[in-house]
Structures are given as structure tokens and as C-alpha cells.
Structure 1
Amino acid sequence: MKKWLTNNKYYFIGAMISSLCGFCYWKFIGCASGTCAITSKPVNSSLYGAMMGALVASMFKKEEKQTPA
């Protein structure tokens, strides 16, 4: 379990930072009418931010080189 967490730490860090940013976006900018799909609720905004953060963080993960057998 510890090895899995260390291998995927960039995903978790990106998701946590971006979910906080998504919540702040809802809190300070948000959607006044409530008709916006993403920013109408804090849960939607935070989950969307977490998903985008994990995707962006995955771009920075280094690939392991495999040696030929």
C-alpha cells in the first residue's frame, strides 16, 4: 500500500490542491443563478477541480524505462 501511495503521490497532490482551488472558485466567483453545472454546488466544483488537477499532475510523472529481456 505504501509503495502504491508513493508511486501515485503526484496525482494526490494535484487533486488536493486543485480541489481546494475548485472550492475557492465556487466560494468567491461561483454561479449566482444556480444553473451552472460545475459551479452551482461546492461538491461539483471541488470534484471537477480534483479531476483536472490529477490529469495535469499526470503530465509531470516520469515514465520508468524498461530494460529489454
Structure 2
Amino acid sequence: MFKKYKLTFIGVVFGAILGYLYFFYVGCESGTCKITSSPVNSTLYGALMSGLLFNIFENKPKKK
């Protein structure tokens, strides 16, 4: 399963790291931002979006 979705897993990890770094360095001053006010929300959102983006580039077998 890992070989099939390797690029997606890499994207999820990459996005989670970027999401946390965005929270850490930019964040939300007032605390009213839904995504960037919490490190958990920011990390999960980054992982989801990056995983979806990297999933586009995976080679899928063509059906006959």
C-alpha cells in the first residue's frame, strides 16, 4: 500500500510540517482565525491540502 500511495504520504508529511511552521511563524494574533489559531488545526489543514495536491501527480493505471 505504501508503494501505491508513496507520493501522497510524502505530501501529507510535508504539508503537516509546513502547516505547523505557518502557525509558528505567522499564526493568528487575535485568536479568532479558524485554521491558524491552533497548531493542531493548522497542521491538519496543511497535511490535508498537501496530500490532496500531491495525489494529483500519482500515476494511476489506465482501465481497458
Range into which the TM-score falls when normalised by the shorter chain: over 0.9
The CA RMSD over aligned residues, in Å, is 0.9
Between Structure 1 and Structure 2, whose CA radius of gyration is higher?
1
TM-score relative to the length of structure 2: 0.94
Structure 1 gaps of 5+ residues are none
Q: For this pair of structures, how many residues does the alignment match?
A: 64
* Aligned position for 2:56: 59
Runs of 4+ in 1 over 3 A off after TM superposition: none
TM-score relative to the length of structure 1: 0.87
* Bigger share in helix: 1
Structure 2 gaps of 5+ residues are none
Structure with more contact order per residue of length (Cα contacts < 8 Å, sep ≥ 6): 2
CA deviation string 1:10-57 (max 9, x = no partner): 111001001100000000000011100000000000000000011000
